[in-house]
Amino acid sequence: MAFSTDPLDELVVPDGTEAKEVALETDGDVLVGSRSTIEFGVRGRNVIAGESVEFGGDIEAEGDCRLDMWCDVAENVLVGQDAYIGERVHIAGKLKVAGDLDIGDDVDIEEGFEANGWIVIRNPMPTIVFLFVYLKHLLLIGEEDTAQQLVSELVDDEDEEADEEPDAEPLVIPRNATVGDDAWRVSTPATIGDDCRLHGNVRAETIDVGADCNIFGSLRARGDVSVGRGTRIHGDLTTRDGDVVIDEDARILGDVSCQDLTLEPGAEVDGTIRADGEITMGTTEREQE
């Protein structure tokens, strides 16, 4: 990934992510762009949110939690290490921090807060710091040593982690997104990893779904859509101007509408197929012989 690339220009759902009834759970970090709405809680390693993000449930962070100004949390915030709460943040429940707490002006915590470490009242997380924090986590997936050093200089708390390789890719929700049981709506491309279980219709510029996923909703995109091996889409698959590729043993439990359609061996479509262009049926090695 080039250093100039904006990490929040795509919805990225890492392998193994599961959307449960009350929370979106992932093994890695959760990075949320400004002015997004998450209609349930989130659970992850580090949770980092930009300005004016709304959470509809608890935030549970094994590591650090960073909330920029004007964020709103409908329930509790539970943090395993340090917390950085920007000015005018509203938390409807409790704030519990196992480590240090940096907290800005005019923060409203309805049920009180507690921290086992130092408590500092200031404006702890300007937007530029937030930018480089999530840049660092994404760039560590590659080998961008210069970017890692720059981020480490800007964010003191991350110095000890600069040479460590993360054990899980972060969940990235772009700016102005809406994520909930009803729909995942973004104006960017969307990439969903392997072995994910999500509820809600996915709306994006393009959609790439990995292998062995269960998506309980429809897929709709302006551009291309690909569905990985063994994945189940419990709804329609529609693209306005793009092509669709459905990999081996994947199944669409609804209609498919696209330009060109490629069906690999074992792929199934239970509903009606509407393709303005070509329909290509893949063949197995035995059939080729």
Pairwise pLDDT comparison (245 vs 7), residue with the higher score: 245
134 exposed, middle or buried (CB, 10 Å; 0-12, 13-18, 19+)?
buried
User: pLDDT (tens digit, 9 = 90+) per residue, 257-270?
Assistant: 999 999 999 999 99
pLDDT band at residue 172 using 50, 70 and 90 as cut-offs = very high
- Give residue 135's pLDDT band: very low, low, confident or very high (50, 70, 90): low
Domains of the chain by residue range: 11-161, 189-288
Specify whether the CB–CB gap between 30 and 13 falls below 8 A. no
Structure-block tokens of residue 209 = 């779904």
The answer on pLDDT for 212 being more than 60 is: yes
> In this model, does residue 113 exceed pLDDT 70?
yes
The pLDDT confidence band at residue 227, using thresholds 50, 70 and 90, is very high
Q: What six digits make up the tokens of 18?
A: 């599961």
Average the pLDDT over each of 40-49, 76-85, 217-226, 277-286 and give the range with the smallest value. Answer: 277-286
Decide the pairing of beta strands 183-185 and 178-179: antiparallel
Do 234 and 251 touch, CB atoms closer than 8 A? no
Using the predicted structure, report yes or no on whether residue 125 has a pLDDT greater than 60.
no
Q: Tell me: the pLDDT tens digits for 183-192?
A: 999 999 999 9
139: pLDDT strictly greater than 60: no
More confident residue, 117 or 76: 76
Q: Give the pLDDT mean for 237-254.
A: 97
Q: Return the pLDDT at 250.
A: 97
Identify the pLDDT of residue 121.
76
Per-residue tokens: 15: 């392998």
Q: Which amino acid is at 16?
A: G
Q: Residue 177 and residue 240: Cα distance in Å, rounded?
A: 20
DSSP of 236-248: -EEESS--EEE-T
Give 27's contacts (C-beta < 8 A, 6+ positions apart).
Answer: 14, 16, 44, 45, 167, 168
Residue type present at position 175: R
Which pLDDT belongs to residue 163? Answer: 45
What average pLDDT does this structure show over 44-56? 94
The pLDDT value given to residue 22:
83
Portion of the chain with pLDDT greater than 90, in percent: 71
| Average of per-residue pLDDT values in the chain | 85
Q: In terms of C-beta density within 10 A (0-12 exposed, 13-18 middle, 19 or more buried), how is residue 47 classed?
A: buried
Task: Please give the residue that has the higher pLDDT: either 22 or 42.
Answer: 42
Nearest alpha carbon to residue 221 among 10, 7, 6: 10
* Percent of the chain whose pLDDT exceeds 70: 79
Q: How confident is the model at residue 69 (pLDDT cuts 50, 70, 90)?
A: very high
Which of the four pLDDT bands, split at 50, 70 and 90, describes residue 4? very low
Position 282 scores a pLDDT of 76
Q: What is the pLDDT of residue 145?
A: 52
